[in-house]
Amino acid sequence: MQKIFAVDIDNVLAHAEEEVQRLFQEVTGEPWPIGTYGSAGGLDQSQLDRDRLEMIFSRFHEESIPRLPLLPGVKPALDLLHSRYRIVLITARRPHSRPQTLEWLTKHSLPFDALYHTEDKTKIPESLTVAIDDHPVHIQAYRDMGIQVFVMDQPWNQSVQDPQVTRVSGWDVLIQLLDGRPHGSWL
């Protein structure tokens, strides 16, 4: 049975944070609120007017996705992981952004076997082996399921302090950690 690696997209594969902050400033006319953590997770929990929040999310999903840059090392890392795992992309992006998301994945020639759009990343029809995410809620949900989790280090997930979670500062670090394991023993 093939092992399954769950991979988040925003702030794990794609630089999304700067774009969300830019849209926030454009829509509200105000600077990004200090202390609000990361992208949609921070905005969802903010006191921002729901109409403005919806405008930011709509613009992100409709306009921003195609131009998001990759994080360093994503393509070679996914190519290597894909040779050893079934890669399942799980994003909290809204389902109507699927065409833009698929276009972005194709544009960057990123390998994957399935793409799910869901807020509850553990409720998919796959038996996950390992995951990488940046959002504390999703990290905890994976841990609660007993899934090995890598955390893409970001300012908004510093509160995640779990000895069963491995924090990585980038894709090169993740691959180095996995390559440091005896051959054939990747999770």
pLDDT band at 127 (very low <50, low <70, confident <90, very high): very high
CA distance 1 to 185: 14
**Interval 58-78 mean pLDDT:** 95
Residues 6+ apart with CB under 8 A from 128: 4, 5, 6, 88, 122, 142, 145, 147
pLDDT at site 31:
83
**Residue tagged 């006191």 (tokens):** 47
**Interval 77-106 mean pLDDT:** 96
Domain ranges for the chain: 4-14+69-179, 17-67
Q: Give CATH superfamily name and number for 4-14+69-179.
A: HAD superfamily/HAD-like (3.40.50.1000)
CA distance 97 to 82: 24
- Flag whether pLDDT at 51 surpasses 60: yes
pLDDT at site 180:
79
**Interval 118-143 mean pLDDT:** 94
- Flag whether pLDDT at 64 surpasses 70: yes
47 vs 58, which has greater pLDDT? Answer: 58
pLDDT at site 104:
98
Q: What are phi and psi of 135, to 5 degrees?
A: -90, 125
Residue 149 burial (C-beta neighbours within 10 Å; 0-12, 13-18, 19+) = buried
**Interval 80-94 mean pLDDT:** 95
Q: How high is the mean pLDDT of the chain?
A: 89
The pTM score is 0.91
Residue 20 burial (C-beta neighbours within 10 Å; 0-12, 13-18, 19+) = buried
